[in-house]
Amino acid sequence: MTELIGRFHPVLVHLPIGILLLAGLFQLLALKPKYASLHAATSIALFWGMISAILSCISGYLLSQSGDYDEELVNTHKWFAIATASISLIAYLFNRWENEFAKWVILLMIPLIIITGHLGGSLTHGSDYLTKGFSNEEESTGKEIIPIADVQEANVYADIVQPIFESKCYGCHNKSKKKGGLRLDEPAFILKGGKDGEVIKPGSADESDMMRRLLLPRNDEDHMPPKEKPQLKDNEIALLHWWIATGATFDKKTKDLE
């Protein structure tokens, strides 16, 4: 039940962002005499924004218990979220009491919303999400796969396998987002696996969970990557199969493997 409630966080979290920012806009306009009537609307917006912010904090906390996200970043996001919810409560009370500091509290609330929202976006999309649009590299990872000049001298993991993970897998399995408790951004984490155990069995590609999931029908809920994400090409799947079948090494060159 707690996991189910936590999964409503992405739905709930947009409510306080929109409503509280609207309250801030109303407050700014209400500073002018001709918009003084917006004072009542500001109070209503603050009330519902406060309620939705509190619900978002609760659902976000429950979602964070899954362990699928970077703990340090989650904690930072959590405390900024709590601060935002607290400030929205104070802003609502001050506004109702017509306290002269109400407008300053509301204005303080706006940067908190922006920072909290950015931290939440970093958890789900990566810390460079806002800057990816300025790059010509692949959207899913920010790293371009380049041709290998001498395949026989290439490091199998660093030059062949890792770029595949970076372009197709890092979106869900990295330091900040560990879907299923799995990270694929470092060798130790690849070998460790996720919540369901090991994802690769060196020397036994056909028995590896990674290969099983890659080869499932795209509409299967266990298929990886998720159907809405960029999919691995047949030759990329074949390369991963070959890498695992030959021992899933991280330091050998192509010429050293069959």
Tokens (6 digits) for 13: 């979290």
Q: Is the pLDDT of residue 147 over 70?
A: yes
What integer pLDDT is reported at residue 133 of this predicted model?
Answer: 62
What integer pLDDT is reported at residue 17 of this predicted model?
Answer: 94
What integer pLDDT is reported at residue 136 of this predicted model?
Answer: 52
> What is the pLDDT averaged over residues 72-86?
94
Residue-wise pLDDT for 16-29, tens only, equals 999 999 999 998 89
Q: What is the C-alpha R_g of the chain? A: 24
Mean pLDDT rounded to a whole number for the chain: 89
What integer pLDDT is reported at residue 134 of this predicted model?
Answer: 62
Please spell the DSSP secondary structure of 182-220, one letter per residue: ---SSHHHHHH-BTTB-S--TT-GGG-HHHHHHHS-TTS
CB 92 within 8 A of CB 54: no
Q: Is the pLDDT of residue 137 over 50?
A: no
Tell me which of 37-41, 127-131, 157-161, 185-189 is least confident.
127-131
What integer pLDDT is reported at residue 31 of this predicted model?
Answer: 84
Residue-wise pLDDT for 24-55, tens only, equals 999 889 888 899 888 889 999 999 999 999 99
What integer pLDDT is reported at residue 140 of this predicted model?
Answer: 45
Q: Is the pLDDT of residue 122 over 90?
A: no
Residue-wise pLDDT for 199-222, tens only, equals 999 999 999 999 999 999 989 989
CB 209 within 8 A of CB 196: yes
CB 202 within 8 A of CB 248: yes
Tell me which of 22-26, 79-83, 127-131, 245-249 is least confident.
127-131
Q: Is the pLDDT of residue 130 over 70?
A: no
What integer pLDDT is reported at residue 131 of this predicted model?
Answer: 64
Q: Is the pLDDT of residue 108 over 50?
A: yes
CB 171 within 8 A of CB 229: yes
What integer pLDDT is reported at residue 171 of this predicted model?
Answer: 84
Tokens (6 digits) for 215: 């080869």
